[in-house]
Amino acid sequence: MSSQSSGSKWVAGLLVVAIAVVVGIFVYREKMARDKAEAPAFAGASSSAPAHAGTAQNAALPQHPIGPASGSTAALPSLDQSDDAVLAGLMALTSDDALKSLLKPQAIVSRMVSTIDALPKHTIGMNVVPLRTPTGRFQVQSDDGMFVESKKNYARYDTYMYVADRVNPAAAASWYKRNYPLFQDAYRDLGTGGYFNDRLIEVIDHLLAAPEPKGTLQLIPAKEGYVYANPDYEQLSVGQKFMIRVGPANEAKLKAKLRALREAIVAGAPAVSSTSAN
């Protein structure tokens, strides 16, 4: 597990915040490793992970088409010019600086899409993560002669959980539908040729299927820190590993938030038509 460092109520929540906090805050080569060198700066879609072969993403028609957006009809900026508008929207909908202290302000949507797409995989590039990583070092402790994760680690996620807890799923889904073209453009830049909302729903379902272990999990020393002694846990995706790594209470909260987000996103979706995913 990498040890690399990375309030008031919200007026409303945004999907970009919810997904980042709920499923993207941890993907900084979370392998219980010691300090490592920083990865190169994010260079856009060309440096992202290669396209995956999911059925929904390669289908000619979207499985979960986005319904009509409500609210402003103002034209959206182009993806490469969207950071200021996205950041301004995020800050305008928050009443404190909790999110601002976590968010990387460059290539926000592209980083978000790349991170979400990578969560069901076994590795993810540090350079695509949209939020700053938790500070402090990963800690282990001895339990009957075995290494186990220290509960002190859970406190490293307090700020992220604080933000996630205040996300309004309905408002998040509304903002997401309004700004969906930006997410789709970023997803197309990955070279998948698919429909981003299908991938998003697939990833949420994948995270909801994360195991909920009872008791502590044994760790064993490895080249870059520690790994799970149980191969069933060590082979999990980066997303599912995080879900169990934040602790049982936080995992339960995150799953409840993800279920609410999923419901809000698919609510009011139109029937699948002949509209192309691209």
Question: How many separate helices (H) and strands (E) can be counted in the chain?
Answer: 11, 4
Could you tell me the CA-to-CA distances from 221 to 3, 20, 246, 247 in Å, in that order? 14, 30, 20, 21
Q: List, in order, residues 6 or more apart from 217 with CB less than 8 Å away.
A: 148, 149, 228, 229, 230, 233, 244
pLDDT at 233: 94
Q: List, in order, residues 6 or more apart from 183 with CB less than 8 Å away.
A: 109, 112, 113, 176, 196, 197
Neighbours of 28 (CB within 10 A): 25
Q: What are the pLDDT tens digits along the chain (278 aa)? A: 433 222 222 222 334 454 544 444 333 333 344 334 334 445 554 433 334 444 334 446 889 998 665 555 678 999 999 998 887 766 655 556 777 777 778 888 998 898 899 889 988 776 666 666 666 677 888 877 788 888 888 887 887 788 778 777 777 777 788 889 999 999 999 987 899 999 999 999 999 999 999 888 899 988 878 899 999 999 999 899 988 888 888 899 989 989 998 998 998 777 665 444 44
Q: List, in order, residues 6 or more apart from 6 with CB less than 8 Å away.
A: 28, 131, 132, 133, 134, 135
pLDDT at 30: 39
Q: List, in order, residues 6 or more apart from 224 with CB less than 8 Å away.
A: 31, 32, 33, 34, 36
pLDDT at 134: 66
pLDDT at 130: 61
**pTM (2 d.p.):** 0.76
pLDDT at 81: 95
SS3 content of the chain, % helix, strand, coil (to 5): 45, 5, 50
pLDDT at 23: 43
Q: Label residue 132 left, alpha or beta by phi (over 0 means left) and psi (-120 to 50 means alpha).
A: beta
pLDDT at 181: 93
